[in-house]
Amino acid sequence: MNRIKFDFSKTSDKQNEFFRARERYVAYGGARGGGKSWAVRHKAVLLACQFPGIKIIIFRRTYEELRKNHIEPLMAMTAGIAKYNTSSKQLTFINGSVIVCGYVDNDGALTKYQGQEYDVMFIDEATNIPEDWIRQLNAIVRGVNGLPKRTYYTCNPGGVSHNYFKRLFVDKQYVGTEDPSEYRFIKALPTDNKALMETQPEYIDYLKSLPEKRRAAWLEGRWDVFEGQFFEEFRDDPEHYKDRRWTHVIEPFDIPRGWQIYRSFDFGYAKPFSCAWWAIDYDGVLYRILELYGCTKTPNEGVKWTPDEIFDNIHKIETQHKWLKGKTIYGVADPSIWDSSRGESVNEAAERHAVYFEKGDNKRIAGWMQCHYRLDFDYNGFPMMYVFNNCKGFIRTIPLLQYSDTHPEDLDTTQEDHIADEWRYMCMSRPLTPPRPEELPEAAYSIGAHALELTPTRR
């Protein structure tokens, strides 16, 4: 067959790494302008030429994206060695290989691919496609023909499946049958794209001019800060664990005897339950010191403990842990645990184990604002709450929460929001009155040289 000649002198090191990758699941990208779609097209054609008879499919979220980014460029690339069928959206090579171009913009579009078999699948801009759809699409990558079986993703931070890709390819947290050796992440930045830097060097200046969150994601490829993040204020900076400035996460310390202790709780069975213990210092600052999060190794999957099992474990922690033993603990929980319409309420089980609660205020928007107030840094860099770094559930789930598409002031309740709910009840039990923003600069300048002397002892 005719051959396509590629000038690899113009490809970046990251693109060449993507071409060589042979793992079962490969994710490529992390920032805008890394040459992702170009790499997908060329990798697909290389595979089609190398393995006669191979079946390849390339997905985008919408047909218009598919047409502009893949169908038209592929037709130009493969002229003379492949024919394109408009109705099936399929390129057929003279060696029998095929590249199908597909899009999934709704559940109906997804079902038409079920039952089909492909050797290699590319999902371009994969974080724009829901995790459940991605799992279903991976089921079509199968067969006994001896050809490679691989899935290639391109992705940027943000999007509906941000959490899924961050867990697998950035945090490298695997669950169930997920084999770490099958996953590879190739981080590509716009500066890695030789062609872009030669033809449009000003693109970097454009990215640098963006607002902080978008700049961090699009230019630096950061997965901890992204557009749509609900708690964008949250910071985990180990360099500031000791001085406690510009970070919310700190190292644990022994709790002073005079500090009050609270417990917050959100019930779950098939979904995780969350219980946390908080210390409150003399300035009203919250410290999340311990947590019991009923989640399996699979995110957002509950351990299915009965109420008696949950509260038996909570009682043991409170009677044995040095920070809690002998303390008066004030409990606050979701009012739904008092519901007895289907038999014994969850709260009755709690009281049987000497675990007591008051009904929490579960107003959502007001509650989220209290959480934001707690996270806000003052002009010296100190927040009104901290999280001990042993509270892994909070540190993992809170930065991943995103805004709801249908209720702009609320978070997306389809996410792993159980710790956030329990935290919200705690904040509503000790509400803050936010300072007026226009007063902060004046206060900062009026303190002047005495700022350090007037900083409360907790700081």
Same domain (yes/no): 14, 108: yes
Buried-exposed string 403-414: b where 16+ CB fall within 10 A, e elsewhere: eeeeeeeebbee
Same domain (yes/no): 243, 213: no
Residue type, 320: Q
Same domain (yes/no): 251, 118: no
Same domain (yes/no): 211, 290: no
CATH of the domain at 271: 3.30.420.280
Same domain (yes/no): 175, 248: no
Residue type, 39: A
Burial of 345 (0-12, 13-18, 19+ CB in 10 A): middle
Same domain (yes/no): 245, 194: no
The confidence score (pLDDT) of residue 437 equals 52
Contact 376, 433 (CB under 8 A): no
Contact 157, 125 (CB under 8 A): no
The confidence score (pLDDT) of residue 3 equals 60
The confidence score (pLDDT) of residue 439 equals 45
The confidence score (pLDDT) of residue 403 equals 87
Q: Is the dihedral of CA 110, 142, 132, 235 positive or negative?
A: negative
E-strand spans in 327-435? 329-333, 358-359, 385-388
Neighbours of 214 (CB within 10 A): 17
User: Which 3 state secondary structure label does DSSP give 151?
Assistant: strand
Task: Indicate the pairing of strand 55-60 with strand 25-30.
Answer: unpaired
Residue among 269, 216, 265 at smallest CA distance from 31: 216
Neighbours of 322 (CB within 10 A): 8
CATH of the domain at 74: 3.40.50.300
Residue among 455, 444, 207, 422 at smallest CA distance from 336: 422
- Residue given tokens 């899924």 in the structure block: 164
Q: State how far the Cα of 419 lies from the Cα of 104, in Å rounded to an integer.
A: 32
- Domain contains 298: yes
Same domain (yes/no): 259, 110: no
- Domain contains 39: yes
- Domain contains 451: no
Same domain (yes/no): 45, 156: yes
Tell me the pLDDT tens digit for each residue of 196-247: 677 777 777 777 777 676 776 777 777 877 767 889 889 988 888 989 999 9
- Domain contains 110: yes
Contact 317, 290 (CB under 8 A): yes
Contacts 24+ apart (CB under 8 A), 143-149: 143/55, 143/117, 143/118, 143/119, 145/53, 145/119, 147/51, 147/53, 147/54, 147/119, 148/22, 148/47, 148/51, 148/54, 148/119, 148/120, 149/24, 149/119, 149/120
- Domain contains 447: no
- Domain contains 18: yes
The confidence score (pLDDT) of residue 280 equals 97
Residue type, 212: E
Q: Structural domain of residue 356, as residue ranges? A: 238-440
Tens place of pLDDT for every residue, the chain, 459 residues? 456 666 666 678 888 899 999 999 999 987 666 678 889 999 999 999 999 999 999 999 999 999 999 999 999 999 989 999 999 999 999 999 999 999 998 878 888 898 899 999 999 999 889 888 999 999 999 999 999 999 999 998 877 888 889 889 998 989 889 999 999 999 887 777 766 677 777 777 777 777 676 776 777 777 877 767 889 889 988 888 989 999 999 999 999 999 999 999 999 999 999 999 999 999 999 999 999 999 998 889 999 999 999 999 999 999 999 999 999 999 999 999 999 998 999 999 999 999 999 999 999 999 999 999 999 998 889 999 999 999 999 999 998 898 887 887 899 898 899 999 999 999 999 999 875 554 444 443 333 333 333 333 343
Same domain (yes/no): 212, 243: no
Report how many domains make up the chain: 2
Same domain (yes/no): 91, 190: yes
Same domain (yes/no): 77, 203: yes
- Domain contains 424: yes
E-strand spans in 22-119? 25-30, 55-60, 82-85, 90-93, 98-103
Same domain (yes/no): 172, 297: no
